[in-house]
Amino acid sequence: MTSSPTSIPLLERLVAFDTESSRSNLDLIDFVSDYLAGLGVEVSRHPNAAGDKAALLATVGPRAEGGVVLSGHTDCVPVAGQAWTGDPFRLRVEGGRAIGRGAVDMKGFDALCLAAVPAMLKAGLKRPIHICLSYDEETTCLGANDAIARFGRDLPLPAAAIVGEPTELAAVDAHKSVATFLTRVHGHEAHSAKPELGASAVMAAAELMAELNRIADEMVARGDPSGRFDPSYTTVHVGQVEGGNARNILARLCWFNWEFRGLPDLDPNEIPERFKAASERVARDRLNRHGAYGRIETEWEILVPGLAPDPGSTAERLVLDLVGANATTTVPFGTEAGHFQAAGIPTIVCGPGSIDQAHQADEYIALDALADGEAFLGRLIARMAE
């Protein structure tokens, strides 16, 4: 394998843009737009409501059915507090690795797709290859949705989508959903020696968190009939909690963040509806048992849909053939794949590099992995030119 993949110069440019999810990605999108325009490829931009971020969608080849979407995200996780041995936004190539923030998750795949555009143009594609670059994947997974909405509307519906998250080029056909929530319990302050004069938000929140524990235990018992996930059940977790001002004051406010990561067959409304019923009971029987003292509010922050197995789909058959494998697998992390699937596009997650190198100091993608990704895209281009 080559020690200097052709995508390295583009990866160097992409890593140089600080596109942490809290920042704008427009400079990167401007660069990619200019790069593609220089090759004669038209792009459409899909901004967020604030106008400080945008997704990009480009089509190479005829506007015909049967195409393939190559999907990557442009945002990356923060570097603050991590012990990097060099500038995170200056790509270093050493020891068979390309090191930099986002190198594997997932600017490496983005760079591979962009570097392959000249080959796509020369190949005489019979079916199109669409390149979709999104924003906010690391926070909400909503940044690709406006671009996805074009398919089946003013662009032909593709036959497959390949989301290039790092899977070491394994064909992934399923992952869990991710749903996050913020619950605020409002009570009424009073002396702890006279609890009938108020309502403790902390005590009520404790009941709600106990209910989440009961739901979590039930999910473990329910398990995963497919036996494909690790852990083999829907997980429920409270990650942060804060409330109260002093030991001897009934707490006026308590808030906690919680989440669930659901198996693909879990109804995403099941756990929120059960929690809502518990909240109504706790508000009635505890917060307001001595008077109209409190209320409970829950904000559903994020829902990343799961990717459900679709045995024998066009995406599965295509990717298994391209990687030379006989079976699909699963991953424990969420992706944008569920949004493509919900739009009626058969979807597989498959990309170069390992998730084990993501989200940490000195994040890297191996040069051999980039070379493998380049070969993978070469096989895809040849297939789309048949």
Which residues does the annotation mark as catalytic? 75, 137
Closest CA to 103 of 145, 59, 71, 72: 72
Q: Are 287 and 251 in contact, with CB atoms under 8 Å apart?
A: no
136-169 residues labelled b (16+ CB within 10 A) or e (exposed): bbbeebbbbbbbbebbeeebbebbbbbbbbbbbb
Q: Is 250 helix (H, G, I), strand (E, B) or coil?
A: coil
Q: What token pair was written down for 213?
A: 């524990």
Q: Are 74 and 88 in contact (CB under 8 A)?
A: no
- Which tokens go with 304? 């990343």
Using alpha carbons only, how large is the chain's radius of gyration in Å? 24
Whether the CB-CB separation of 156 and 64 falls below 8 Å is answered with yes
Question: Residue 72: which H helix or E strand, with range?
Answer: strand 68-73
